[in-house]
Structure 1
Amino acid sequence: MERFRDGAQDAFEDLFARHAPRVQGFLARMVRNGALAEDLLQATFLSVIRSRGRYEPGTRFIPWLMTIAANAARDALRHQRHVDAYASREDTATPASAAPDDSDPSLRRHLLDALQQLHPDHREAVVLSKVEGWSFEEIGALRGISPGAARLRAHRGYEKLRELLGELELEVAR
C-alpha cells in the first residue's frame, strides 16, 4: 500500500489482484447478493484510491481495507432496509423480506438465510470470526471496540443462529 500511496500505479493493480477475492467473499456473506457485493467491492477499492493519502505508513493494510468494506456493506444494508420499509408500505400484501425456503434441503441455504436475519453487528462478528478466522482482538480493532465487546457481538450472533436454525429443525420435522 505504501507504494501505491507514494504514486506507483501498478501497485494498485497488485493490491486489487491480491485482496479483491477475500474482500468480495466477505461482502457477499455480509449482503448476500452477488451483484451488490461486486458493486461494493468496486466502491471499496474506489475508496482505497480516494483515501490513499490518509493511509498511515506502517498501518496494517488488511484491517484498514476491511473497515472500508464493512462500512460499505453497512451502508448498503441500511439503505436496503429503508427501501424495504418503503416497499412494504407501498404493498402491504408482500413482506419486505422473504422467509427462508422450507423446501430447500441445503443447510448452507438455511444458514445463509439465518445469517441475514442477524443484526449487522452480530453478523459481521460471526463472519469475521468463524469464516475469516479473525481473532476478537482484530475484530475489536476493526470496529473500534474492545475484544470483549467483539466477543459479545459474536456470541449474540451464535445464540440467534442457534435459535433460528433450531426453529428450522422444528419446521422441517412437521
Structure 2
Amino acid sequence: MDRNENLWFSDEKVEEDNQDTAATLHQLQILQSLIPNSNKTDARSILEDASDYVQKIQQEMEQIEKELSQRSEDNGSSSRSRSSGSSSAPKILRVVTEKLVESRFVVKISSNKGPGVAAQVQRVLESLELDMEMTSISVQEKTPFEMLTTAIVEVTKETMTEEELHDLITKGAERLGLLVH
C-alpha cells in the first residue's frame, strides 16, 4: 500500500511538472512575440534578447527624457522660430480604437513627429491607468512627418465601447496638453 501511494504522488508530481513546463513555454512564446526580430527558440536566447531589448528601451527613454529636459530649459523659444510658420506643439492627429476580445483593444494614435512626442503619447496612455500589454512606435515612408503609436490595452470596465475608449484617450491627451485635431 505504501508503494502504491508513492507511485500516485510520483504521477501527480510529473503532471504538475508538465503543466509548469507548458506554462513556462507559453510565457516564453509571449515574451518572444514582444521582441522585434526575435527568432531564437531556446529559453536562454529569448531571455537574453528580452534583456537586450529592455536595455535598449531604457536607453531610448533616457535620451527622450534628456531631450525633454533640454527642451523645457529652452522654454520653447526655439520652437516658436521654426520655419514654415506651423506650430511645433505636439499634436495627436488621429485616434483609432478597435475592440479585440472582451476588454482588450488595439489603440492606434497618429501624431506629429518630433522630439519627445512619443514619450508624451505614452504618458497619455499611462495616465489613463490602462493595462498596456504592448506598445510600438513606427514612422511610415508615405507620412514621414507623422508617427504611429500602436498599443494593445486591457480596460478594467468590461462593457467599454470603442467610442468610450476613444473619448477617454482624447480627453487624457487634452488634459496633458497635447493638441488633438
TM-score bracket relative to the smaller structure = 0.3 to 0.5
Whose strand fraction is larger, Structure 1's or Structure 2's? 2
Instruction: Give the structure with higher Rg (CA).
Output: 2
Whose helix fraction is larger, Structure 1's or Structure 2's? 1
